[in-house]
Copies of this chain bind each other. A is one copy, B any other.
Amino acid sequence: MDPFLKAAIDEARLGLAEGGIPIGSVLVIENEIVGRGHNRRVQNGSVVLHAEMDCLENAGRLPAASYQRATLYSTLSPCDMCSGAALLYGIPRVVVGENQTFQGPESYVRERGVEVTIADDQECIDLMREFIANCPELWNEDIGE
């Protein structure tokens, strides 16, 4: 498996162990992980720290040129907010663990010039299927439903 997707899954599992929503993300520049994060809705009471946002926040203030060489990994298809964050910073590549349990605005993100790759990873699918079955209200809250 892609070691960076594996690192994002490790983040998702860390979040699950904390009692949180199991979505993880890493930001990669030139084969190096420069930021890691996972969904913090439960842990921090946060409505903005989805996994990708937490990852970007943990990567810190980077020059525009760094984002423009980066790849954002997420275990789950990025929602409107997280997709928008990738667009804001001009991140050219997004690698998605799976988009079967939730699908963000992938077509729009592609139209805006971002390369979006769907790994269709069974471990990512299983993580979300189990979580959604166990905690449907928390999941709906996280996607504004």
| A53 nearest in chain B by CB position | B48
- Name, among A46, A83, A88, A145, the residue most crowded by chain B CB atoms within 10 Å (CB to CB): A88
Q: How many copies of this chain sit in the oligomeric assembly?
A: 2
**Bound state CA distance, A141 and B89, in angstroms?**
9
Q: Is the CB of A47 within 8 A of B64?
A: no
Contacts of A47 in B (CB 8 A): 56-57, 59-62, 89
Nearest CB in chain B to that of A145: its residue: B64
Residue in A48, A62, A143 whose Cβ sees the most chain B Cβ within 10 Å: A48
Those of A100-145 within 8 Å (CB) of chain B: 108, 140-141, 143-145
A40 CB, nearest partner CB in chain B, Å? 11
Q: Would B88 and A143 count as touching, CB distance under 8 A?
A: yes
Chain A positions 65-110 with a Cβ under 8 Å from a chain B Cβ: 67, 79-85, 87-90, 108
Interface residues of A, count at CB 8 A: 33
Complex-state Cα separation, A82 to B90, whole angstroms = 15
Q: List 20 A-B contacts (CB under 8 A).
A: A41-B61, A47-B56, A47-B62, A47-B89, A48-B49, A48-B56, A48-B57, A48-B85, A61-B141, A64-B144, A67-B144, A80-B83, A80-B85, A80-B87, A81-B84, A81-B88, A82-B84, A83-B84, A84-B84, A89-B144
